[in-house]
Structure 1
Amino acid sequence: MSELPVVVIGAGPQGLAAAAHLTERGVDAVVVERGASAGAAVSEWGHVRLFSGWSELTDAAARRLLEPTGWTEPRSGYPTGAEWVSSYLSPLADALGDRILYGTTVSGIARRGRDKVIMSGRKAQPFVVHTVDQDGRDGRILARSVIDASGTWSLPNPAGADGYPALGEAAASERISYRIPDDVSALAGMHVVVVGAGHSATHAVLRLSELARREPGTRVTWLLRRGSAVNVFGGGSGDELPERAELGSRARKVIEAGAVEVVTGFRIAEFTQDGDSLTIIAENGQKISGAAHVFALTGFRPDASILREVRIDLDGSLDAVAGIAAEIDPNIHSCGSVGATGARQLAQPEKDLFIIGAKSYGRAPTFLALTGYEQVRSVVAHLAGDHEAAERDELVLPGTGVCGGTGGFDAEGSSCCAAPAPTVASGDRPLRGVLS
């Protein structure tokens, strides 16, 4: 088994970092990537600027691997997703060379000759990583260990408030998007609705507010499921990532200026279509009519289907790795208050199988690249037999300025750190006229 490689699923930031650490420790690695290039998922949101600076976006072992190639490390600034790929992920993939298999989709992971039920002799068998290439041909890769860094990008959450698509959501799919928009000019003069409370939704609202400023008649409505908008605006001056603080500050300003109307406590139950527009109906019967397009940016969830024949332990609430769930629960923690999560916490019942990166966080929205790099460092140290390094905690996260997590779901309270939110409409009473 020691002669077999470690298979890493996904050539994103954490997958490539895992390959760099494995290479540095002299362990053979094979990275399986379904896209045509490294950072394929990041490239899909390449127009979005990150709120993390370059110092939080590169991994130490990756930098050491890149240095002999003549690579110049970006030192300052806040890159877009496209710049993250071109200035770091692509050069790192080039340095890893033929360790990466592109255009290859993992269809399943198992133990050789044993389905999930069989216990006898299980740990002595290598993993079998089942693949399908871009021509539809099946393949198998034997591995001593598997690191699943496949992320969550392929499975966005629906707009429906109960975790399932709302009534009529599938039928209205041509007018509902689940990604941060780039060019929104085609929506000029229309009523556009954004659903979600995270940074992706904030990015979309800001982009659309610029359109509303330039194009009279453009209306932007921001729907929040929670009864308060407080945490949307972040920790202000208490946030140790200035660009993240600025994101919340800009959102506050466009709302106070009347460019965007925020409606709290609006939990979507149904979409109905009337010609070229949608009516959005909340669980309490509240309606928003005349929406030309909806951006449902309500987070992502992991796809565990490739893991169905191995033994895994995921938290029943978050779909996160069970060993870290209590440390990352967004009901309690912000992304600056989570503890370190290393190999011991990430270990699965299936020996030498690890789920890392955004996928390890399940539905929790508090993942940062820094956390993923620390996961990689610890997991690879464990696989290499360096258990002292695996147990070490080297993670230092920037504070958010928000105390604890998301707070009450229904209450219109306020965070103990963030400034009070501007007055917004509530889904429990009729909407005021949308300001433009």
Structure 2
Amino acid sequence: MTLIDLTPAPAATARANALPVAIIGAGPIGLAAAARLTERDIPFVVLEKGESAGAAIREWGHTRLFSPWEHLVDDAAVRLLGASGWQAPAAGRAPSGRELVDEYVAPLSAHPAIAPHLRTGVEVLAVTREGMDRTRTAGRSRAPFALRLRLADGTIVDETASAVIDASGTWGQANPLGSGGLAPLGWDAVADRVAPALPDVLGADRERFAGRHTTVVGAGHSAANTLIALASLARDEPGTRVTWLIRNAAAARISTGGDELEGRGALGARLERLVADGRVEVLDRFEILRAEPAGDGVRLHGRRAGEAAAHDTDLVVAATGFRPDLGMLRELRLELDDIVEAPRRLAPLIDPNVHSCGTVSPHGYRELAHPEQGFFIVGMKSYGRAPTFLLKTGYEQVRSVVAWLAGDAASAGRVELTLPATGVCSTSAGGCC
């Protein structure tokens, strides 16, 4: 294991100290980091690939979260918004993704303390140290970070920062459907017949799915949401069929009994009833190896229970979970777990074979630190491939990280989050619920 310097306040040149902290991503976690930096009077810039803050959430905005409002907002953000007259949504109700953006993320991004420092339509292509690839050591911690950006007009530029907080999430980085972690052979030929996770089946995407046979691949809550929506569509649209394809004998992650969250448990119970009633057909123990066009649809070739098998469908929904985009970080010195691709100290705390959302312990800068001093991955991306992310825990991450950047060792090292006994999960998209 590489030695990581965990002393607060990174050593830097006067020039580096004068530069802003670069926050990648203007979702709830990135904006919480901005609110924390505002309170510490540390300059920052927020770089958002989408056209507006919360752009990724809007893509699954029709989906309802499992957690109530009081567990979906950051304390520093609430202080900032409250001072300008913002009223917090009523506690006890779980919002949709669209409501989360409209009632919280958008007002936060428009706050006068944040809006001037938010740049939308800016894609971060790479992060490195100015003048240094990952092999150079001398003077490395004193060199500013350099970010290569693609601007909204297509121009590519390099800009510098004193530190980097990567809160870019994992949405849009779907796990491939092949059982070996790769796209099935022939996938390019059927890509136009594959929908990403959480399509708006009963809304904007209704026409695409009505009267057709859709196969949902995946064993998590994103798959469950889509299967339930498709079954509802099938009641009203003749010819609509629904198949649920999973690799194992059962979808263990979709719990129906003793669930920490009532809404999440109810989701599993609804899906069980649909399967029992024959409204959702289950194709279990199926490993996808190859795909090819079959008329206007798709033929999936693979193995089922060890035997060669094929499955025909009109459309496929890829609800197989997400993974972090690490390519943009290639020139940085990272210390990641070999299995879940999370920071090595964090990985044992979020192992999905052991933990659910409610059993992940709060953690901070120590668990998130890398050999690249001043660089942190936070939020859903920090969990790598583990689907156990807790939004409230993400807020504690950035509180601790910003305290470290400010040189406040006592605050950075102190856990300031007490989780409710039931646990609280973030969303049904790219997380555990």
Does 1:123 pair with 2:141? yes
Match of 1:229, SS state, is coil
CA deviation profile, 1:154-196 (whole Å, cap 9, x unmatched)? 2111111111001222211111112211133432332210000
Does 1:56 pair with 2:74? no
- For 1:74 and 1:270, locate their aligned partners in 2 and report how far apart those are by CA, in whole Å: 47
The equivalent of 2:264 in structure 1 is 244
- For 2:373 and 2:315, locate their aligned partners in 1 and report how far apart those are by CA, in whole Å: 47
Does 1:278 pair with 2:294? no
The equivalent of 1:209 in structure 2 is 231
The equivalent of 2:35 in structure 1 is 20
- For 2:298 and 2:160, locate their aligned partners in 1 and report how far apart those are by CA, in whole Å: 50
How far residue 64 of structure 1 moved from its aligned partner, in angstroms, is 0.5
Match of 1:72, SS state, is coil
Going from structure 1 to structure 2, the CA distance change for 1:229 and 1:198 (only over 3 Å counts) comes to closer
How far residue 397 of structure 1 moved from its aligned partner, in angstroms, is 4.0
Whether the 8 Å CA contact 2:144–2:162 is kept in 1: the answer is yes
How far residue 82 of structure 1 moved from its aligned partner, in angstroms, is 1.1
CA deviation profile, 1:74-125 (whole Å, cap 9, x unmatched)? 1232111111111000000011111111111112112122111110111111
The equivalent of 2:20 in structure 1 is 5
Structure 2 stretches of 5 or more lacking a match? 1-15, 424-433
Of the candidates 105, 111, 126, which is equivalent to residue 89 of structure 1? Answer: 105
The equivalent of 1:162 in structure 2 is 180
Going from structure 1 to structure 2, the CA distance change for 1:111 and 1:325 (only over 3 Å counts) comes to same
- For 1:288 and 1:246, locate their aligned partners in 2 and report how far apart those are by CA, in whole Å: 32
Going from structure 1 to structure 2, the CA distance change for 1:334 and 1:400 (only over 3 Å counts) comes to farther
Going from structure 1 to structure 2, the CA distance change for 1:103 and 1:361 (only over 3 Å counts) comes to same
Whether the 8 Å CA contact 1:337–1:399 is kept in 2: the answer is no
- For 2:261 and 2:44, locate their aligned partners in 1 and report how far apart those are by CA, in whole Å: 34
- For 1:85 and 1:313, locate their aligned partners in 2 and report how far apart those are by CA, in whole Å: 33
Of the candidates 311, 333, 338, which is equivalent to residue 311 of structure 1? Answer: 333
Counterpart residue identity of residue 416, structure 2: E
Does 1:259 pair with 2:279? yes
Of the candidates 121, 129, 152, which is equivalent to residue 103 of structure 1? Answer: 121
- For 2:353 and 2:188, locate their aligned partners in 1 and report how far apart those are by CA, in whole Å: 29
Whether the 8 Å CA contact 1:185–1:211 is kept in 2: the answer is no
Whether the 8 Å CA contact 1:240–1:398 is kept in 2: the answer is no
Moved over 6 A (4+): none
- For 1:168 and 1:350, locate their aligned partners in 2 and report how far apart those are by CA, in whole Å: 39
- For 1:130 and 1:181, locate their aligned partners in 2 and report how far apart those are by CA, in whole Å: 32
How far residue 285 of structure 1 moved from its aligned partner, in angstroms, is 4.1
Going from structure 1 to structure 2, the CA distance change for 1:400 and 1:223 (only over 3 Å counts) comes to farther
- For 2:267 and 2:141, locate their aligned partners in 1 and report how far apart those are by CA, in whole Å: 48
Whether the 8 Å CA contact 2:220–2:251 is kept in 1: the answer is no
- For 2:284 and 2:100, locate their aligned partners in 1 and report how far apart those are by CA, in whole Å: 34
CA deviation profile, 1:181-232 (whole Å, cap 9, x unmatched)? 1133432332210000111101110000101222343221101112223432
**TM-score, with length taken from structure 1:** 0.88
Of the candidates 343, 347, 360, which is equivalent to residue 382 of structure 2? Answer: 360
Match of 1:322, SS state, is coil
- For 2:156 and 2:253, locate their aligned partners in 1 and report how far apart those are by CA, in whole Å: 47
Whether the 8 Å CA contact 1:45–1:180 is kept in 2: the answer is yes
The equivalent of 1:193 in structure 2 is 215
The equivalent of 2:198 in structure 1 is 180
The equivalent of 2:431 in structure 1 is none
CA deviation profile, 1:263-285 (whole Å, cap 9, x unmatched)? 22111111122211222222334
Counterpart residue identity of residue 246, structure 1: A
Counterpart residue identity of residue 119, structure 2: L
The equivalent of 2:345 in structure 1 is 323
How far residue 139 of structure 1 moved from its aligned partner, in angstroms, is 2.4
Counterpart residue identity of residue 88, structure 1: Y
Match of 1:273, SS state, is strand
- For 1:267 and 1:165, locate their aligned partners in 2 and report how far apart those are by CA, in whole Å: 12
The equivalent of 2:429 in structure 1 is none
- For 2:328 and 2:210, locate their aligned partners in 1 and report how far apart those are by CA, in whole Å: 42
- For 1:67 and 1:44, locate their aligned partners in 2 and report how far apart those are by CA, in whole Å: 28
Going from structure 1 to structure 2, the CA distance change for 1:399 and 1:262 (only over 3 Å counts) comes to farther
Whether the 8 Å CA contact 2:256–2:266 is kept in 1: the answer is no
How far residue 317 of structure 1 moved from its aligned partner, in angstroms, is 0.9
Match of 2:170, SS state, is coil
Whether the 8 Å CA contact 1:46–1:83 is kept in 2: the answer is yes
The equivalent of 2:57 in structure 1 is 42
The equivalent of 1:382 in structure 2 is 404
